[in-house]
Amino acid sequence: MNPFDVFLVYPIINVLIAIYHLLIALHIPYALGFSIIVLTVLMRVALYPFTATQLKAAKKMQGVSHHVANLKEKHKGDAKRIQAETMKLYKEHGINPAAGCLPILIQIPIIWGLYSVLQQAVSVSPSAALAHINQIVYFPILHLDKTWDPTFFGVPLGQGPSNLFSTMGPVVILVPIITGALQYVQSKMMLPQVDKDAKKLQKKNDDFATTFQNQSTYIFPIMIAFVSYTFPMGMSLYWNTFSIFGIIQQYKISGWGGLMKKKG
């Protein structure tokens, strides 16, 4: 057996099935789709301490971004001096540039595990999923005695917009558009809120890292939208739920960030 599946994917599947059984007991329709939403929210809550650490570190970095831009202007052409002065500035403000890295590294395998769970839950036929899941659940009470409804409000969770375009029409294009839009909002909120003068100064002194960050704000949402056009709807349901709660958490910690223009 794959250790990744045994230690990460299978436990998450068991949680998903437990949620599914609870929703079925409550007679909630489209239980599989709502189970994915509930599981995603629980994952977001579990990851919140790490996400909060990452966002707080990013907020501190944003708070001194104008000073960093001034340093780049003052010591233009002297990369070593800029680096030394920037680290000195970070130290003065109690900023650890690496503080946001560990939370990201912790989140990656968990997010990928959840992605793998959804692949196994919605990307195969209900009968195949039934047989596979009954082999890996930990307790007999979690066994499925019949196949589940693989749709969510009539939309097949195991098929992507590219497969459904011929039967459902252009309306399915809304899914990748919404997915990309939510990702754009979240990416934009991660950027600092600056006034016009600071923005001009930053543009004048943009290095590769800053330029890449600004460009990825637009490129990454487009990539996510393109991927969601081909991936099963269940994946988009997970990703959009993840993004919405990410936006809420980010707003509570650092506000709208670069999504709103700074006055003055």
Average pLDDT in the chain: 84
Least confident of 61-65, 173-177, 233-237: 61-65
- Report the first-to-last Cα separation within the chain, whole angstroms: 59
Least confident of 184-188, 198-202, 221-225: 198-202
Other C-beta atoms lying within 10 Å of the C-beta of residue 182: 21
Look up residue 123 and give its amino acid: S
Q: What is the mean pLDDT of residues 107-136?
A: 80
Quote the percentage of the chain above a pLDDT of 70: 86
Query: Over 70: is that where the pLDDT of 101 sits?
Result: no
Q: What is the mean pLDDT of residues 172-199?
A: 82
pLDDT of residue 196: 58
Cα 159 to chain centroid, rounded: 21
Tokens encoding 43: 């994952």
Query: Over 60: is that where the pLDDT of 149 sits?
Result: yes
Cα gap 81→116, rounded to integer Å: 46
Q: For the purposes of burial, counting CB atoms within 10 Å of the CB of 199, is it exposed (0-12), middle (13-18) or buried (19 or more)? A: middle
Query: Over 60: is that where the pLDDT of 2 sits?
Result: yes
Query: Over 90: is that where the pLDDT of 128 sits?
Result: no
Question: Would you say 86 and 205 are in contact if contact means Cβ atoms under 8 Å apart?
Answer: no
Residue 11: closest CA among 106, 115, 137, 134: 137
What's the pLDDT band for 100 if we cut at 50, 70, 90? low
More confident residue, 19 or 99: 19
Question: Would you say 142 and 21 are in contact if contact means Cβ atoms under 8 Å apart?
Answer: yes
More confident residue, 143 or 216: 143
Query: Over 60: is that where the pLDDT of 29 sits?
Result: yes
